[in-house]
Copies of this chain bind each other. A is one copy, B any other.
């Protein structure tokens, strides 16, 4: 591809830019549709068959595409479906969370080739970067030399204020606070030359859902990820919108109302940490939530009321987002078992019917399909998107 300069619409176009655009367009269409023959690509892109033919040949020779088996049964010459070459591009996705960090090596179709995880009570910079470095070493020994060269970058998903919202005291408190002054990109540059992309964790989850999950179905939607702290992402015009400073979809900061009418934020009323608090109060150890999916059903007595509250808050929050953007859908995912997710979605659907919806176009409420891995997987998308795909924003 090219130097990536001609990406914004507020720039002049020339031939080189045109070809780059069209290559990205075809790759994006194939990413989205999975597999398409040339004539379909021509129709979808409004480009002529010879142009498609030429671009496909080029991308194939670059190792980005493979041709499938000719499709017979229809009249005429059989068409050859083209698809992304799984091994055409690799990417690394890292999630740094409040309870665990993940390291992913993904292929061009979003398949996970390597997965490493570490859990902790709180993340400390030295440990986390050590974990990352070990992951890179593992990836290096896992791939051949030529495969290694196809790693296109590293995406890092993290909350924007990792150092906030943590009642940490004691010897590690100071080191924990040092996150505040850490520049991820600079830190990574100390042991890798790969380009590094930093993205909000929930926005990364949204990106994964958008490329590999239910998100494809919708043009515009808001995505809630219920983790230790709830967060969100935004999709506009079939593309994740990160915002000017990457803080779009900070849905955890949506206003909420506390039990006695005081002003709160969604993060206080619809996060897993509030369930943790409920459990601690009842004498249970909340860590089982993160280690044992079964525990969610075992603890139904505590989980159900938490789900009820969370659903009401998410319903209100969903409508708030729809007043800003007329979203077609709301997608809800989280760091909980799929059964819990489905239950939550059902409760949100019910809760939304009791709200005042004058002047709004109601969104459909859908569940996400990826779960906890979404954030690291989405992080791995950033380098791929920036180098090979069209990003409509």
Contact = CB atoms under 8 A, between A and B. Distances in A.
Q: Is the interface of A mostly helix, strand, loop or mixed?
A: loop
A135 B234 CA distance: 42
Centre residue among A11, A243, A316 by max chain B CB count within 10 A = A243
A240 B264 CA distance: 31
A222 interface: yes
Give how many copies assemble into the complex: 2
Given A250-B359, A253-B359, A253-B360, A238 B325 contact: no
A58 to B, nearest CB: 15
Contacts of A14: 18, 47
A190 interface: no
Interface string A296-327: 00000000000000000000100111111110
Interface in A355-371: 355-361
A161 interface: yes
A17 B13 CA distance: 9
Interface in A255-291: 255, 257, 261, 263-267
A72 interface: no
Contacts of A321: 324
A254 interface: yes
A393 B46 CA distance: 19
A73 to B, nearest CB: 28
* Contact-residue bracket for chain A: 35 or more
Contact of A248 (B8, B244, B326): B326
A356 B265 contact: yes
A10 B33 CA distance: 14
Nearest to A245: B326
B358 A164 contact: yes
A390 B10 contact: yes
A324 B326 contact: no
Nearest to A255: B320
8 contacts: A10-B25, A18-B18, A164-B358, A222-B324, A244-B326, A245-B361, A253-B358, A254-B320
Interface of A: 5-6, 8-15, 17-18, 21-22, 25, 28, 45-47, 51, 160-161, 164-165, 219-220, 222, 234, 236-238, 241, 243-255, 257, 261, 263-267, 316, 319-326, 328, 355-361, 390, 392-393
